[in-house]
Amino acid sequence: MRSGNAHGLHSPFVFGLYTTVIRHSGQYAAYAKVEKRRQALLASRQTLEVTDFGAGSQVAGAGGRRRAVRDIARHAAKAPRLAQLLFRLVNHFRPATILELGTSLGLTTAYLALADSRNQVLTFEGCLNTAAVARQTFAELGIQNVRLVEGNLDTTLPATLASLAQPLDFVFFDGNHRYEPTLRYFEQCLGRAHEDSVFVLDDIHWSAEMERAWEAIKAHPSVTVTIDLFYVGLVFFRKKQRREDFWLRY
């Protein structure tokens, strides 16, 4: 209800980003490729034994459970509109190193990778069976600039960050929708960030915990600009930028 549009935006950086990237309505060739794969997953009759390390395990019961691939594609995969926003952000900022915390079936990963084939996408998935389907997604789309890291994110993220030789340019947080893990992952990634890094947090209003996490991140001393698009939040660390928080319609 607090969100606005481009009118009244006094930040040239945010105005340009909002009008040319966030609100961009054109089509890219990659969209059709990924959406064709999405339709195949929605029609799939395959079922998986799913292990959920995040907040989803509290919602649906602990431990493994069988789920249809088409149900995961329908309910857990990022909607085309939001996945395509991530594509445009990567296409605009041209990050060399991208982290995605939460691969699922690989559709959003595909958008991140296809936005610029020169980048390296490191994506993390806790469930081995879901990761196998994601690998099929990458193979069918001919994607070669993705490295999929399997296992519990609490273990794999610190180890991967410690092994990285390059800083983090872009991070998409979609791995655990709880307050403490979200902040912990944010802090861990922040240690490898720089002034031009872009962090995107998914489902910032999904629960009271996620809203608390979003408010804590907005108040972090390293953060200078945030953009609340309701479904996702954008975080910037631009040192020459005036400290501001924006609520914009998308």
pLDDT for residue 60? 38
pTM score above 0.95:
no
pLDDT for residue 9? 75
Q: Give CA–CA dist 95/52, Å, rounded.
A: 29
The residues, any chain, with a CB within 8 Å of residue 237's CB and separated by 6 or more, are 193, 194, 195, 196, 197, 222, 223, 224
Sign of CA dihedral 23, 214, 149, 75: negative
pLDDT for residue 63? 42
User: Are residues 11 and 226 in contact, defined by beta-carbon separation less than 8 angstroms?
Assistant: no
- Closest-CA residue to 83 (of 57, 104, 60): 104
β-partners of residue 99 are 122, 171
pLDDT for residue 6? 65
Which residues of the chain carry a pLDDT beneath 70?
1-8, 53-64
Q: Give CA–CA dist 46/132, Å, rounded.
A: 12
194 in a domain, yes or no? yes
pLDDT for residue 62? 36
Domain range enclosing 52: 12-247
Q: Look at the chain and report how many structural domains it folds into.
A: 1
1 in a domain, yes or no? no
Q: Which residues of 137-158 are buried (b: 16+ CB within 10 A; e: fewer)?
A: bbeebebeebebbbbebeebbe
153 in a domain, yes or no? yes
2 in a domain, yes or no? no
Sign of CA dihedral 131, 144, 189, 105: negative
108 in a domain, yes or no? yes
pLDDT for residue 61? 37
